[in-house]
Amino acid sequence: MENHEHSVQEAVQEMVQTMASKGWRITDQRRSLAALFAEAPGYLSPKDVYESMRQKYPGVSFDTVYRNLRLLSEMGVLEQFYLNDGLKFRARCHSHHHHHMICLQCEKTMPFEFCPMKQLSHLPDDFQIVNHRFEIFGYCPECAGERAATT
């Protein structure tokens, strides 16, 4: 448990430092937002974030939450994904370069270390790549078993 708490604290600090480096004023609300994502085991919808933030900050508006999510995504603090039930966010993994397989049913993510960028040889030479993401969507073994049992 101590390792988890330490990694959560590191993740919060990393997110806060990124916000500060982009000129954001670090408020209690933004620290709480960073902590929410650092502690979340999976993806959060804008509504999930709003409901959570509203518990501690009753005056927060959905528009403010959504704007912050979009800006945090643009600055690379959060990753955004379009899953079956809409737009979701999660904290960006910073420990090392990897990609994810994402279950469409339970939204569990499984990292994989192979980077397909190394295999792409036909990209235009004049395009300056600064970042990339690669996700594989499908069904984890548990959900695939459930789906097979119902068909």
* In a shared domain, residues 19 and 53: yes
- 53 close to 32: Cβ distance less than 8 angstroms: yes
Please give the annotated binding residues, written as ranges.
97, 103, 106, 132, 140, 143
Residues 104 and 86 in one domain: no
- Asked if residue 50 has pLDDT above 90, the reply is yes
Residue 14 and residue 72 in one domain: yes
Are residue 81 and residue 126 in the same domain, yes or no?
A: no
**Whether the Cβ atoms of residue 22 and residue 16 lie closer than 8 Å to each other:** no
Mean pLDDT, all residues of the chain: 84
Cα dihedral sign, 81-140-39-8: negative
| Spatial CB neighbours of 15, under 8 Å, sequence gap ≥ 6 | 34, 37, 38, 72, 77, 91
**Number of domains the chain is built from:** 2
Same domain, 53 and 115: no
| The last residue of a domain, from among 49, 70, 91 | 91
Same domain, 82 and 9: yes
Does 79 lie in the same domain as 50? Answer: yes
pLDDT tens, residue by residue, 97-125: 777 788 888 888 787 777 888 788 888 88
CATH of the domain at 114: 3.30.1490.190
Binding residues for Zn(2+): 103, 106, 140, 143
Distance CA 55, CA 41 (A): 19
Q: pTM for the full model? A: 0.69
Q: What is the CATH number of the domain that holds 68?
A: 1.10.10.10
- pLDDT higher than 50, residue 66: yes
Which residues fall in the annotated binding site for Fe cation? 97, 132
Same domain (yes/no): 121, 47 = no
**Domain end point (choices 91, 112, 129):** 91
- Write out the residue range of the structural domain in which residue 128 sits: 99-150
Segment 36-51 mean pLDDT: 90
Say yes or no: 85 and 106 in one domain.
no
